[in-house]
Amino acid sequence: MKAIAITRAAKDGSNIDALQDITLPKPVAQGHDILVAVNAISVNPVDTKVRSGFSGDAPRVLGWDAVGTVGGSG
């Protein structure tokens, strides 16, 4: 699975150098989860706020809004 992740804080919220393309293992839907094959995303204001105040473990995948096709369920 491909994703965009933040690797360090971007204090002004716009430092594109803090973003990195990463590859993650394909998740498995469990319980009440669904697995969605994402076709498109948008940038949510939450993404910018997370980037500007990031202090957690890196890399952290960004993205709150997505559209796609359900590919499985738990």
pLDDT over 70 percentage in the chain: 89
Average confidence (pLDDT) over 57-67: 84
Which comes out higher in pLDDT, residue 47 or 40? 40
pLDDT in tens, 7-43: 877 666 566 777 889 999 999 999 999 999 999 988 8
Average confidence (pLDDT) over 42-53: 79
- Whether residue 43 contacts residue 16, with contact meaning beta carbons closer than 8 Å, is answered with no
Phi, psi of 16 (to 5 degrees): -65, -20
**What pLDDT is recorded for position 68?**
96
- CATH number of the structural domain 2-73: 3.90.180.10
**What pLDDT is recorded for position 8?**
78
